[in-house]
Structure 1
Amino acid sequence: MKASKIAYRPVALVLGAVSGMAAGALFKQTWKALGHGEDAPDATDEDRSWREVLLTATLQGAIFAGVKAAVDRVGATTVRRLTGTWPS
């Protein structure tokens, strides 16, 4: 196993947790900024429409994917700077 891959594993675990927390906070702020109140609807929220539930889930998924990709890219770039090779 390559040294860069071994070095990246603990970094990836930490970055995964950090990206999840950051994405959750960003989604909450985005939800508030859109003027929808404090809590986003759950899929089983009977008082919310299909449209609102699905749009909320799509927005949340896009934010989580974007934050995860950005954080993973920063982690891989950092490992390359430290080890000289890109983790694969």
Structure 2
Amino acid sequence: MNAAKIAYKPVGLVLGAAGGMLAGMAFKQVWKVIEGEGDAPDAMDEDRRWKEILLAAAVQGAIFAVVKAAIERSGAVTARRLTGSWPG
């Protein structure tokens, strides 16, 4: 493992945590648009239908994947600009 990869590891962890928080906030806003109000259903919500639970899971997964990819890519591009080598 080269020095750029090692140096990028803590940065990647911080970016990942920040991305998770950002994705969570984005999901809450998107769910408000989909359902109007209220919290997104959890798989263990007894009073929710399968359709609601699976839709919420699909939307949440898509948002988290897009945010994760965008943050990882941006972090790698920035690391290359600063160090001259790709961290991945």
Give the TM bin, normalised by the shorter chain.
over 0.9
Q: Which ranges of 4 or more aligned residues in structure 1 deviate by more than 6 Å?
A: none
Report the aligned-residue RMSD: 1.0
| 1:41 equivalent in structure 2 | 41
| 2:83 equivalent in structure 1 | 83
Whole-angstrom distance in 2 between the partners of 1:2 and 1:84: 12
Identity rate, percent: 65
Kindly state the Cα deviation for residue 35 of structure 1 after the two structures are TM-superposed.
3.2
- For residue 65 of structure 1, give the secondary structure of its aligned residue in structure 2: helix
One-letter amino acid of the structure 1 residue matched with residue 8 of structure 2: Y
One-letter amino acid of the structure 2 residue matched with residue 24 of structure 1: G
| 1:2 equivalent in structure 2 | 2
What TM-score results when the alignment is normalised by the length of structure 2? 0.94
Kindly state the Cα deviation for residue 19 of structure 1 after the two structures are TM-superposed.
0.2
For this pair of structures, how many residues does the alignment match?
88
| 1:63 equivalent in structure 2 | 63
Question: Unpaired segments of 5 or more residues in structure 2?
Answer: none
Is this contact kept in 2: 1:7–1:79, CA < 8 A? Answer: no
Question: Unpaired segments of 5 or more residues in structure 1?
Answer: none
